[in-house]
Structure 1
């Protein structure tokens, strides 16, 4: 039986130096095949507080990561002779933000944040540091707009909201839209 940890270690090593970081690997049976789902994201170079929106992954970067991961798996006998389908993707908006790096990569995005104590709040991440974040909450009814700071330890759940028109202009060269994960499936017969 294949160890997800072994596959993760192999893929992590293959991606080293590529500008991408391995977020997750899941190997699941699918009939006589297996599905190897690999989630990658851009290495976050910033240290300290992040206040600028990070550029999403492009289709070319996902395609390159797919080739790198496929080559590493082909060169190893870790998956054995059983055929598998390789899916390399970027994190989608359906993934809850659970780590400081997740918040840092989503500066500028609209989120619904549920504190451990208190009501859920919707706002835009304007700053994400190593221990906390700042959320700009727009005015609602008679409540004025405000900036709130939340320590990560005080957040029960945070989810990115899909926006079809974002307030800032986006560069036409940033494809695909960062609201959707990019899948590049590759069937492998071993």
Structure 2
């Protein structure tokens, strides 16, 4: 069974990233002119600060220097975090996005933009913002119903309290 360079790099680097308290989210090798760029995306439940990024970057660089995983040619190593509008593809991504506004593309067709209130093993509870003066509404989304999900950037968020009236209503309904 043949493995790609990205798979070999993941096998080599993931234990090192994990030992630094981070998750290895993505590896990509791209050619830019004659040079190659190895991009490594890391994250954790609490995020990754610049010191952690620098530490893991040094550790990855040393590991790559002692191996032949990147071959003989020159390359640039870039280590970073997923970014503001990250795609949600794993359960942990949804958990980390609790409280954030997300655009969901649904299997049944259509899309909704909603705030993630709670995540469990089967899906998530979301709050769909009200339009034209209407109240926000609660909705349950099963993971199986979601094709794609991407965090949305909010510049003017007025209420940073995740436990909104809708979330309180949902909890009251569950208790009843």
TM-score, L = length of structure 1: 0.75
Check whether the contact 2:127–2:136 (CA below 8 A) recurs between aligned residues. Answer: yes
Q: Is the 8 A contact 1:127 1:133 kept in 2?
A: yes
Name the structure 1 match of 2:70: 79
Alignment-derived partner of residue 23 in structure 1 = 25
Distance 1:22 1:4 in 2: 12
Separation in 1 of the partners of 2:97 and 2:122? 15
Distance between the aligned counterparts of 1:28 and 1:142, measured in 2?
Answer: 47
Q: Which residue of 2 aligns with 1:188?
A: none
RMSD: 2.0
| Cα displacement (A) at 1:125 | 0.5
Q: Which residue of 2 aligns with 1:175?
A: none
The number of residue pairs the alignment matches comes to: 157
TM-score for both structures, normalised by structure 2: 0.80
Q: Which moved more, 1:32-41 or 1:89-98?
A: 89-98
**2:145 equivalent in structure 1:** 154
Aligned residue number for residue 4 of structure 1: 6
Q: Does 1:110 align with 2:112?
A: no
TM superposition shift of 1:165: 4.1
Larger Cα-atom Rg: 2
The 10-residue stretch of structure 1 (80-89 or 160-169) with the greater mean CA deviation from structure 2:
160-169
Unaligned ranges ≥5, structure 2 = 162-176
